[in-house]
Amino acid sequence: GAVALTGLQLDALDGESFAEAVRTTSVYARVSPAHKLRIVDALQADGNIVAMTGDGVNDAPALKAADIGVAMGITGTEVTKEAAKMILADDNFATIVEAVREGRAILDNIRKFLRYLLSTNMGEVLTVFLGVVGAGVIGLNTGDASGAVVLPLLATQLLWINLVTDSGPALAMGVDPPTDDLMARKPRHISERVIDTRMWSSVIQTGLVIAVVTLLTMDMHLPGGLIAGSHDITTARTAGFTVLVFTSLFGCFTARSDVTSAFSNLFVNPWLWGAIALSVVLQIAVVHLSFLNLAFGTVPLTLEEWLLCTAMASGVLWYSEARKLVIRARGR
C-alpha cells in the first residue's frame, strides 16, 4: 500500500535516506514549511516536475521553489498568491486534475500539428529531390531530343499545398478533443522533447512514402518511365500534384497519434472533416476550372485518374497503420 511519513520521521532521515523515502512516500502528515521545501528539492533532484499547494505565508518558499506553485484562491494569503505560478480560484483540488488534463491535451494537439506539417513538408521536399535525381528513371524530361530534366512539381503547386490545402486541417487539429487514455499516461520526463526521436522517425518515413506514391503516380502517366504511360508531362504533373494533396489529407488522420490507429475516434472532430472537405473541393476546382489551370499548370483529370490518385494517396494511411501496429506489438 501507500507509504505515509510524519514530520518527525522526516527529521530522523539523512540526505540519502530522505531522497529514497521521498521516492516511495505518498502521504505526509504534520510537516512544517521547511519539510515541504526539502521535499520539493528532493523530488526535483530526482528529475521530477513538482507541483506544491499552499495557503499560508509559511508555504511561500516551497511554492516558489516548486516548478508549479499552486495557491488557494479563497483561503490563500496575498504573499502565497504572489509566490505561486497558479491560483486555484475555487480551492478545489479536483480542479488541478482538470488543469493537468487540459495541459496534456494542448501538448498533444501541438504534437499532432507538428507531426502533420513536418510530414507533409518532408514529403514535398523528398518528392522534388527524388524527382530530379531520378528523372531519367521516371521519365521526367521534356520528351524532345534534348531530354532536359523537368521539375516534378511547380512552385505555384507547392505554394497551393502549403498555404491552402494544408492550412485548414492543420488548424483543425488544434481543437482535436483529448483521447481517452490521456490521464492514464505516465508523466513526461522533464528532459523529454516535444519533437522526439520517434516523431522524427515517423516524419521521415511518412515523407518518404509520400514521395514514392507521388512519383510512382507520375511515372504511371509518363511514356518514358518504369511503367509506361501515354500522357504528357502536364497531365502527369497534375496527377502527382493531386496525389500529394490527398496524401496530406490522409495524413491528417495518421498524425493524430503515433501509436493509436487512425480509425480510432474517427469522427470526434467535425472541424477536421470540414477542413478536409473544403480542401478536396478546392483541389477539384484547381484541376477543373480553366482559369486556375492556367495559373497552376494543371489539366482536367478523368474519373479513373481521380480514383487512381485517391488509391495511391491512401498508401500513406496503410503504411502508417502497419507501422503503428508494430509499435503497439512491441509495447506489449
pLDDT at 221: 87
For residue 139, give the nearest of 211, 220, 213, 212 by alpha carbon. Answer: 220
Alpha-carbon Rg for the chain in angstroms: 28
Q: Hey, where are the domains in the chain?
A: 3-92, 107-331
Name the β-bridge partners of 4: 27
As assigned by CATH, the class of the 107-331 domain is mainly alpha
Report pLDDT digits (tens) over 187-235.
887 788 899 998 999 999 999 999 999 999 999 988 766 676 667 889 9
DSSP string, 131-173: HHHTHHHHT-B-SSTT--B--SS-HHHHHHIIIIITHHHHHHG
pLDDT at 229: 64
Q: What share of the chain is helix, strand, coil (3-state, %, to 5)?
A: 65, 5, 30
CATH fold for domain 3-92: Rossmann fold (3.40.50)
Name the β-bridge partners of 71: 54, 87
Q: What gap in Å lies between CA 54 and CA 80, rounded to an integer?
A: 7
Asked if domains 3-92 and 107-331 share a fold, the reply is no
Phi, psi dihedrals of residue 300, rounded to the nearest 5°: -60, 145
Q: What gap in Å lies between CA 229 and CA 231, rounded to an integer?
A: 6
For residue 176, give the nearest of 271, 317, 247, 263 by alpha carbon. Answer: 271
pLDDT at 251: 94
Kindly state the DSSP code that residue 301 receives in the 8-state scheme. Answer: -
pLDDT at 3: 85
Q: What gap in Å lies between CA 53 and CA 36, rounded to an integer?
A: 10
| 32, three cell numbers | 512544517
| 76, three cell numbers | 490563500
Q: For every one of its 332 residues, what pLDDT tens digit does the chain have, with 9 covering 90 and above? A: 578 999 999 999 988 899 999 999 989 999 998 999 999 999 999 888 899 998 888 899 999 999 999 999 999 999 999 999 999 999 998 999 998 899 999 999 999 999 999 999 999 999 999 999 988 788 787 666 566 788 899 999 999 999 999 999 999 998 999 888 888 888 887 788 899 998 999 999 999 999 999 999 999 988 766 676 667 889 999 999 999 999 999 999 999 988 889 998 899 999 999 999 999 999 999 999 999 999 999 999 999 999 999 999 999 999 999 999 998 888 75
| 176, three cell numbers | 482535436
54 and 82 Cβ atoms separated by less than 8 Å: no
Length of the chain as a residue count: 332
